[in-house]
Amino acid sequence: LKHFLTIEGLDKELLTEILDTAESFAGMSEHQVKKVPLLRGKTIVNLFFENSTRTRTTFELAATRLSADVLSMNIATSATSKGESLLDTIHNLEAMHVDMFVVRHALSGAAHFIAQHTAPHISVINAGDGQHAHPTQAMLDMFTIRQHKKQFVGLKVAIVGDILHSRVARSQILALNTLGVSEVRVIAPKTLLPAQVKTMGVIPMHDMDEGLDDVDVVIMLRLQKERMNSAFLPSESEFFRCFGLTEAKLKRAKADAIVMHPGPINRGVEIASSVADGPQSVILQQVSNGVAVRMAIMSMAMHSQGGVA
Ligand code: CP
């Protein structure tokens, strides 16, 4: 893969190769190896036009561990505030001989747009675009599921909450179905499901007790208020009562079910603290796995002979 923009169109073999490569990087720290020289001499620029804690930091760490030079641009203090366009910003950074852009943007399609207009030797990685895709998050989530469940075949996965505005859910659904899970359920009020939900390869449900019954993996999502018209914001207390994950509701899932969340979590809105910090939660393991998975994706993109994901 030259660019990594979406999970759509990627086959099971490529997704498995990413997970296997990430596994080799995850094993590095067990052997006290902190850095490998795979991207020595390469320059990676993080361009985050939207805020981030986990994605930006793990991309920076991943690039550092691959021995790349990494620069995270402060968009708030850049010349974009003086009216410089996205493409002019990109072309000016290209003039500094960079090799990769890691892009987060509020507009769906922004990373694709940059990939189409940037110099041919530059790779573009999508770190989240609008409500469209967050493919590296989906891959670190797949890595975490495989770590705990060993294989995807036969798994029942429930994704709960604001599916409508979630780029994470869209990418997870594509990855889970490509990797061969047996069921992906989406549990949400009708107002927080996309109109095209019936074509997404999921089972739409509206009741937590029914939706969580016998599942292996529960993925919780926050209300993406920044993408909602405030007039349609659900009441947080009402949302928690109907769709918040509590210890009582989690009992409907399999006894060894894992609880995931891409973060940031809103305690008491979509998840109770006792579950987020409880024995079935793998939320912080997802964050740790982000480094190895992003190392895998960056090194595979840099050593690619072509092709666009
Ligand atoms: N999961 C995720 O994308 O978190 P950040 O917004 O902190 O990067």
Cα 134 to averaged position of ligand 1 atoms, centre (Å): 9
Question: What confidence tier does 192 reach under pLDDT thresholds 50, 70, 90?
Answer: very high
ipTM above 0.85, yes or no: yes
Question: What confidence tier does 42 reach under pLDDT thresholds 50, 70, 90?
Answer: very high
Ligand 1 atom at minimum distance from 50 CA: 6
Binding site per annotation, positions: 54-55, 82, 104, 134, 137, 167, 222, 263-264
Mutational pocket test of ligand 1: of 47, 52, 136, 140, the residue with most ligand atoms within 8 Å of the beta carbon: 52
44 pLDDT exceeds 50?
yes
Query: How far apart (Å, rounded) are the C-alpha atoms in residues 229 and 233?
Result: 7
Short-list 171, 157, 278, CA closest to 220:
157
Higher-confidence position of 235 and 296: 296
pLDDT tens-digit map of 151-186: 999 999 999 999 999 999 999 999 999 999 999 999
The mean pLDDT value for 34-47 works out to 96
Ligand 1 atom at minimum distance from 104 CA: 8
For ligand 1, atom 6, which residue shows the shortest CA distance? Answer: 52
Q: Amino acid letter at 13? A: E
User: Tell me, what DSSP letter sits at residue 216?
Assistant: S
Query: How far apart (Å, rounded) are the C-alpha atoms in residues 74 and 48?
Result: 8
Question: What confidence tier does 70 reach under pLDDT thresholds 50, 70, 90?
Answer: very high
The mean pLDDT value for 119-124 works out to 96
81 pLDDT exceeds 70?
yes
Annotate 215-233 with b (16+ C-beta within 10 A) or e (fewer).
bbbbbbbbbbeeebeeeee
- For the chain, give the percent of residues with pLDDT over 70: 97
The mean pLDDT value for 109-136 works out to 97
For the chain, what are the domain ranges?
12-134+287-302, 135-283
The mean pLDDT value for 286-301 works out to 97
The CATH classification number of 12-134+287-302 equals: 3.40.50.1370
The CATH classification number of 135-283 equals: 3.40.50.1370
Higher-confidence position of 307 and 171: 171
270 pLDDT exceeds 80?
yes
**Peptide bond just before 264 cis, omega within 30 deg:** yes
pLDDT tens-digit map of 196-229: 999 999 999 999 999 999 999 999 999 988 888 7
Query: How far apart (Å, rounded) are the C-alpha atoms in residues 269 and 231?
Result: 18
Mean pLDDT of the chain: 95
Positions of E strands within 37-182? 43-48, 69-73, 100-105, 123-129, 156-160
306 pLDDT exceeds 60?
no
Does 12-134+287-302 match 135-283 in CATH topology? yes
Query: How far apart (Å, rounded) are the C-alpha atoms in residues 39 and 36?
Result: 8
For ligand 1, atom 4, which residue shows the shortest CA distance? Answer: 54
- Contact residues of ligand 1, CB 6 A cut-off: 52-55, 128, 137, 262-264
Question: What confidence tier does 27 reach under pLDDT thresholds 50, 70, 90?
Answer: confident
Cα 239 to averaged position of ligand 1 atoms, centre (Å): 22
Which helix (H) or strand (E) segment holds residue 259: the answer is strand 258-260
Distances (CA, A) of 172 to 59, 201, 255: 19, 11, 23
Catalytic sites, residue numbers:
54-55, 82, 104, 134
23 pLDDT exceeds 90?
yes
Positions of E strands within 2-155? 43-48, 69-73, 100-105, 123-129
Q: Which pLDDT belongs to residue 307?
A: 46
The mean pLDDT value for 180-197 works out to 96
Q: Amino acid letter at 158? A: A
Q: Which pLDDT belongs to residue 309?
A: 55
Query: How far apart (Å, rounded) are the C-alpha atoms in residues 29 and 21?
Result: 14
